[in-house]
Amino acid sequence: MYKFNGIGSNMSNLFMLSDAKSRSISAENFTGEKGKGGMATEGTGMQCARDLGQGWKVSPYFILEAGKTVEIAAIDGPGVINHIWTTVNSRLVILRIYWDGSETPSVEVPIGDFFCNPFDTHYQISSLAVCCNPNKSLNCYWDMPFKKSCRMTVENLDDKGYYFYYQVDYSLTEVPDDAAYFHAQFRRRNPLPYKDIYTILDGVTGKGQFVGTYMTWGVNNNGWWGEGEVKFYIDGDDEFPTICGTGTEDYFGGAYNFDVNGKYTEYTTPYSGMPTVTRPDGLYSANQRFGLYRWHINDPIRFETDLRVTIQALGWRSGGRYLPRQDDISSVAYWYQTLPSAKFPKLPDRDYLEII
């Protein structure tokens, strides 16, 4: 029988008592120490609080300067991250998370993509794992257990600074020996070469489960773009996968091109959605772009030794034939696995990251 210990809490066990200790890191308590919140006497709100003094929102955020990397959390375990909040959705700010003293990150993703909202315009997302609320309030609810330590950094590749509002809510608690570690990895191909298969995730070694996909898709041809199949190659699968879907829109919980009365229809649900549809304006905004998510919360893809995930980019051409498309595709793969994990591919540079 699973014993509640601060990991995986939900409505069905909220009434259970626990020895977990609730903590939170923000610009009002950079260390998360007990009884140390709101103590700042200097900070970005100091001028606003000049008539009120200490305890009156003196340090609500910090400025993430251009070209700088800042450590936003350093936590000694065991424990579990329960919630992360920020208001920065830039693709040019990179979020990295390191578990148990590892020198290589288990999470390395542009922060906007991590929260499924890398576009300049805010898009509402109402899902279990990620919620994006007015205006550019980005929330992540993936449980992230660690046994020894957690370290989070943000790197600003932009040539401007950001007001960095953030909060990392966590529990100090026992972590089961068989708890896996949260991972997230970003990839992009722009454009995808003709007849190439887009790789969402590859090079994973260890035991774990795949739990989610977020994708942005910029189309470079007319017509429908989502005939491609999503495939999961599990534990030594070579040419053919164990799991093969029937189409892009099917994988993301939709059907028949997301087309209702001749129009792409946005939706956001607990487990899947297409919250983002950007439409050409006839002048400078020339391409359609889409943002889609699929969470494998009730149906994780489990693997024992290795995992590879791919998606085809297919549309239609004359004669009822498939068209291998050359679109602008990017993705975030979310999964849990044992440590150590394989080193990620090198993150694209600033120009290749930019949505243009």
Please identify, among 157, 179, 201, the residue that sits at the C-terminal boundary of a domain.
179
Lowest mean pLDDT among 89-93, 229-233, 282-286: 282-286
Helix (H, G, I), strand (E, B) or coil at 188: strand
pLDDT above 60 (res 315): yes
Same domain, 158 and 282: no
Same domain, 125 and 248: no
Of 2, 155, 162, the residue nearest 68 (C-alpha):
155
pLDDT above 80 (res 135): yes
Same domain, 229 and 82: no
Which residues lie closer than 8 Å to 218 by C-beta, 6 or more apart? 190, 287, 288, 289, 290, 327, 328, 329, 355
Q: Is 250 within a domain?
A: yes
pLDDT above 70 (res 267): yes
* 8 — pLDDT class (breaks 50, 70, 90): low
Same domain, 173 and 205: no
Q: Is 153 within a domain?
A: yes
Q: Is 67 within a domain?
A: yes
Please identify, among 134, 164, 179, the residue that sits at the C-terminal boundary of a domain.
179
Same domain, 188 and 261: yes
Same domain, 218 and 356: yes
Q: Is 8 within a domain?
A: no
Mean pLDDT over 272-277 rounds to 98
Same domain, 218 and 160: no
Element (H, E) at 60: none
Q: Number of structural domains, the chain?
A: 2
User: CA 352 from chain center: how many Å?
Assistant: 19
Cα gap 16→226, rounded to integer Å: 45
Predicted confidence at residue 9, as pLDDT, reads 67
The domain in which residue 54 lies consists of 19-179
Q: What is the pTM of this model?
A: 0.96
Same domain, 283 and 205: yes
Which residues lie closer than 8 Å to 279 by C-beta, 6 or more apart? 285, 288
Read off the CATH number of the domain in which 137 is found.
2.60.120.1390
Same domain, 50 and 166: yes
pLDDT above 50 (res 230): yes
Same domain, 118 and 229: no
Which residues lie closer than 8 Å to 165 by C-beta, 6 or more apart? 27, 60, 61, 85, 86, 87, 88
Same domain, 95 and 199: no
* 65 — pLDDT class (breaks 50, 70, 90): very high
Contact 63, 111 (CB under 8 A): no
pLDDT above 50 (res 116): yes
Predicted confidence at residue 1, as pLDDT, reads 28
Q: Is 9 within a domain?
A: no
Please identify, among 125, 144, 179, the residue that sits at the C-terminal boundary of a domain.
179
Record the tokens describing residue 160, joined without a space: 């401007």
Q: Is 321 within a domain?
A: yes
